Amino acid sequence: MHTSLSCAACGLAHPIGRLQNLCSACARPLVAGYDLGSLKARFTPEVVQRRTLRSMWRFSEVLPVDAPDEAVSLGEGQTPLLRCPSRGPFARFSNLYVKDESFNPTASFKARGMSAAITRAARLGVTSVALPSAGNAAGAATYYAARAGLECYLFMPQDTPPANIIESVVGGARVFLVNGLISDCGKLVKRGCAEFGWFDLSTLKEPFRLEGKKTMGYELAFDLADAHRTTSLRLPDVILYPAGGGTGLIGMCKAFDEMQQLGWIGSQRPRMVLVQAEGCAPIVRAYEAGAQHAELFPNAATVAAGLRVPAAVGDFMMLRAVRESGGTALAISDHDLLEGVRELARWQGIYACPEGGAVWKAAQRLLATGWLKPDEEIVLFNTGSGLKYNHLFEVDDLPVLDHNDPQCLNRVLKT
């Protein structure tokens, strides 16, 4: 259980036993802290390795609960780290892995954040939650709210992937489509929370989605130890991550700092590569301009719905995380990121989301420029399943065989 909640920008401490959104002084994100010095003696990698619990809650000491059975859980986390066979366009990399977050409940990494946030909100007496979403967060919020018996109000851009809208409606959420971007949805949520008393679960405006997502960083260190058949935790040389609101990237860096304070790892860090889409790349622009904060990205448009975030409240945290790690930031076109999806599918057997496709294309580009070396240990995050984006691919002109025609298989040879 956390022992502090303080502002990421001004450091102001906030009470931990009360519902909180942004800092009461400067309206920046609040971040949970733990008494890691006291945990050190009893919370060790060996203790975690012996646990049989198959979810991210095996790290419960650094999550917002007193015990794992308090968690609102659907089995999130413990996703596979898949080593990429060196073939086709992957042949130039010798140590490439994909952490495949599509294995989560509701098929995206958003499950981790929602499990933690809804656990904490329900514990503090919340009965209805609301959030703006690009898609996957809506699906995850719906199902964790259902699991906890909470009402869930969702505000999504009108052109959100149909799969996300349908899963949310089926799961009983109150879904509202908005003729604008996720930032416009966020403004409606803010007003609705003030008027109707819902609890605002917006990313980084709620402190515990970050805590759930940081478990990707903890897990990776164990996954790589397993991959190297060692019990010593390891981090890769480079992590590539698709960033919208940035919670996953910031969360992993937080996990690495906590693991160092626990004495689990040293001071070495992976270079963090932040990947966005060319049609919405506010953080990449700010990174290139050497700025601390990002400007609103005008006319944001990309098929990678999770990356269509024109303004992020945690912009300064993402920029800090990338720079402090010696990483970089780059944007990929929609054409290229969809090609990335096809390549992951055909050469690796992974049906990735477009955000995952972007990350793979970013790795290829960084290898071509020499920023990445072919033998470096590199982890790509595939943050969700391609199944939620089936609408992006056309399969209209498939041959239909007449099974009554004895010659029908001849057509197989002709196509």
Q: In what helix (H) or strand (E) does residue 359 lie, and over which residues does it extend?
A: helix 354-368
Binding mask 118-137 for ligand PLP (x = CB under 6 A): ----------------xxxx
Beta carbon of residue 406, minimum distance to ligand PLP (angstroms, whole number): 47
Encoded tokens for 233: 């935790």
Using the structure block, give the residue that is written with the tokens 């503090």: 124
Which of positions 43-102 make contact with ligand PLP (CB under 6 A)?
Answer: none
**By the 8 A CB rule, do 33 and 219 touch?**
no
* Nearer of residues 115 and 136 to ligand PLP, judged by Cβ: 136
- The Cα–Cα gap between 249 and 158 comes to 27
Which residues in the 198-217 window bind ligand PLP by CB under 6 A? Answer: 203
Residues touching ligand PLP, count (CB under 6 A): 18
**Residue from 115, 142, 247, 328 binding ligand PLP (CB under 6 A):** 247
The pattern of x and - marking residues 157 through 196 that bind ligand PLP according to CB under 6 A reads: ----------------------------------------
333-392 binders of ligand PLP (CB under 6 A)? 353, 355, 383-384
Shortest distance (Å) from residue 383 CB to ligand PLP: 3
Residue 36's SS3 state is helix
| Calpha distance 196→185 (Å, rounded) | 16
Count of helices and strands (H, E) across the chain: 13, 13
Q: Which stretch binds ligand PLP (CB under 6 A): 31-39, 40-48, 244-252, 340-348?
A: 244-252
Amino acid letter, 378: I
The SS3 call for residue 78 is coil
User: Of 202 and 364, which CB lies nearer to ligand PLP in the complex structure?
Assistant: 202
| Binding track over 298-337 against ligand PLP, x by CB under 6 A | --------x-------------------------------
3-class state of residue 357 by DSSP: helix
Phi/psi region, residue 138 (left: phi>0; alpha: psi -120 to 50; beta: rest), is: alpha
Which string of DSSP letters, residue by residue, matches 240-299? EEE-SS-HHHHHHHHHHHHHHHTTSS-S--PEEEEEEETTB-HHHHHHHHT-SSPPPPTT
Pick one of 212, 217, 248, 340: the residue that binds ligand PLP (CB under 6 A).
Answer: 248
Residue 246 in contact with ligand PLP, rule: CB under 6 A: yes
On whether the CB atoms of residues 169 and 156 are closer than 8 A, the answer is: no
Q: Looking at 193-201, 240-248, 265-273, 343-351, which segment touches ligand PLP (CB under 6 A)?
A: 240-248
Nearer to ligand PLP, 140 or 238 (CB): 140
Q: Which is nearer to ligand PLP, 181 or 353 (CB)?
A: 353
Q: Which of 104, 108, 142, 364 binds ligand PLP (CB under 6 A)?
A: 108
Indicate whether 273 belongs to the interface with ligand PLP (CB under 6 A). Answer: no
**Nearest-angstrom CA–CA distance, 203 and 137:** 9
Task: List residues binding ligand PLP (CB under 6 A).
Answer: 108, 134-137, 203, 242-248, 306, 353, 355, 383-384
